[in-house]
A and B are shown apart, each in its own frame.
Chain A
C-alpha cells in the first residue's frame, strides 16, 4: 500500500510570508480527503505544489511516487480554483482539447455525463452558469481517468443544489475506481458526507490530519461546571478548545482509552466543531510542529 501524496517538511515562501511552513503528511491511496482551512491557510499552494504548478522553496513533495512534473501529470487530475476554462470554447471543444492533450482521455464519459447533469455540449462556456462550468471542469478532470484527483475549492461559487450535483458526479466517478481525492474548501459541512479523511491547514501548517471516523470517535464535547480547572479530567488526553463561562464550561476534548469522568455531560462532535476548535486552538496556543 503506497501513498498517493506525500509531503515532508514542505515549505513555500513568498518573500517574507510562508504559504506552507514545514508541512508533513502522507495521504494513502484511495483516501478522500477534505482539505480545510481559512483563506490564506495554504490550501491552494499545497495543491499547486502537488500538480507541479508551483515549486516548493523547501522540503519534499511526491505524488504517485514521483516528483510532481511532466511524468506525474498524466496520473493527476486537477481542477483549479474558480474552474478556469477557455470561455469561448464549447464543452464539447474542451473535451476535444482534453483528448488531444492526454494519452488516455475518456471523451465518451464527458459526452455522456454532461448532458445528464444539464450541461449542453454545444454552448460556449461563457454562456453557462457557475454550476454548469464547475461540472464541465470536473468532467475534464475525471475524463483523464486520474489516480489522484485534486480539487481546489470547487464548491465555493456554487449554490446548494449545484454543490450536491457536483459532489454526486464526483462520488459516482470515485466509487468506480480506487481514485484518491483531495478536495479543498473553507467550509467542512459540504464535505462531511463524502470524505473519509480530514486535513486542516492553518497558516501554512498541518493542524489535523486523520481519518474522520477516528476523529469523531476520539473527540467529545464535554459540558460541566465553570470556573478554573486545576486537575486533569479523567479519560481526557487533551483539551483542544474550551469556552469557559462563570457557571458552565464547554470543552472540546481528545479522549484517551480510560473511562471518562462521569460528572461531565458529553456530546458527540461534528467535523465542523472539530475544525473550528483546532483552528481556534491555533490562535490561542500555536503548537510548534516544526522539527
Chain B
C-alpha cells in the first residue's frame, strides 16, 4: 500500500520539492539583504523602546518630537517607516503566498480520489484484497504527512524571511500578516488538502473538484478571518492619556490589534501641545499565539470532519 502511494504520488512530490527549492532560493536570496539592512539600521535594538510608528505618524505627523528624550525614539520610528516603505514588496509577495495552501488542496488533494473515479481505476484498486478504509486512511495519511513536512519547511523559511518586516511594523495581527506566519499555515494547508480530497470524492471530477476546493477554501478563510477571528477572545478596553511629550507610553500598543479607536475630539492632527484621552478596543499583543492556536484548531477540526466525511463517502456511497 505504501509503495502504491509512493508510486502514484512521486511526481507530485517531486513538483513539491522543486517548488520548495525555488522558494528557498528566493527567500534566502532576498531575505539575506533584508536581514542585513534590518541589523545595520539598528532596528532590533531601538524598536523595543520606540513608539508605535504608524499610530504616532497618523496622529501627530513628523512634528511629534518635542524634546531630546523622545528624539531618538522618533528617529527610530522614522527609520522604521523608511524600512517598511522600502520593503512594501514583502507584503505583496506575502499576499501571494496566502494562496499556497489552496494550491496544495487543488493539486494534491483534489486528484487523490477524483482521478481514480474519473479513470475508473477505483474499480481496480477497491477490488484488491485491501479494504477501502485502509486504502483511504493510508493514502490520505501519507499524502498529508508529506504535505505537512513540506509546509513546515515552507512556513519556516517564510517566517524567517518576513520576521524583520513584521518586527518593524509590529502589526502581527494584520490581515495577510497573521495568515502567513506561525502555526496557522499548517491549519490552512491541512484544511485545503482535506477539502480537495472530499470535493474529489463527492464530485468524482477533477476539474470540478479543483474549482470547488478553491472557492470553498477562500470562502471559509474569509468568513473565519472577518467574522470569527475578531471574536476569538473578548476585547480589552485601553485608555491612554495622550501626551506627546511622553510618547513612549505608546509602547503599550506596539503589536496590539486595535479594533476600534475613538479619536480624542480636542486634538487636531499635528498638534503638539494637546493632552487628551484616547480609548481603544484592542486584542493585546500577547494574545497573538492564543489567536494562532484558536484559528489553527478551527481549521484542523474542519479538516478532520472533512476526512471523516470522505472516508464515509468512499466506504458507503461511491459505486
Contact = CB atoms under 8 A, between A and B. Distances in A.
Q: Do A and B come from one complex?
A: yes
Contact of B127 (A80, A89, A97): A80
Contacts of A140: 124
A73 B316 contact: no
Contacts of B130: 73, 101-102
A85 interface: yes
Interface string A76-87: 101011101111
A84 B119 contact: yes
A96 interface: yes
Chain A interface size range: 20 to 34
Contacts of B319: 48, 53-55
Contacts of B129: 73-74, 101-103, 105, 144
Given A73-B131, A93-B7, A101 B123 contact: no
Contacts of A98: 128
Contacts of B132: 70
A118 interface: no
A51 interface: yes
A73 B128 contact: yes
B127 A78 contact: yes
A213 to B, nearest CB: 31
Given A53-B319, A80-B124, A85-B124, A101 B1 contact: yes
A54 B126 CA distance: 11
A247 B136 CA distance: 67
Contacts of A103: 129
A81 B316 CA distance: 21
Interface of A: 48, 51-55, 70, 73-74, 76, 78, 80-82, 84-87, 89, 93, 96-98, 100-103, 105, 137, 140, 144
Given A55-B316, A102-B129, 16 more contacts: A52-B127, A53-B126, A70-B132, A73-B127, A82-B120, A84-B120, A84-B124, A85-B121, A85-B124, A86-B119, A86-B121, A96-B3, A101-B1, A101-B130, A103-B129, A144-B128
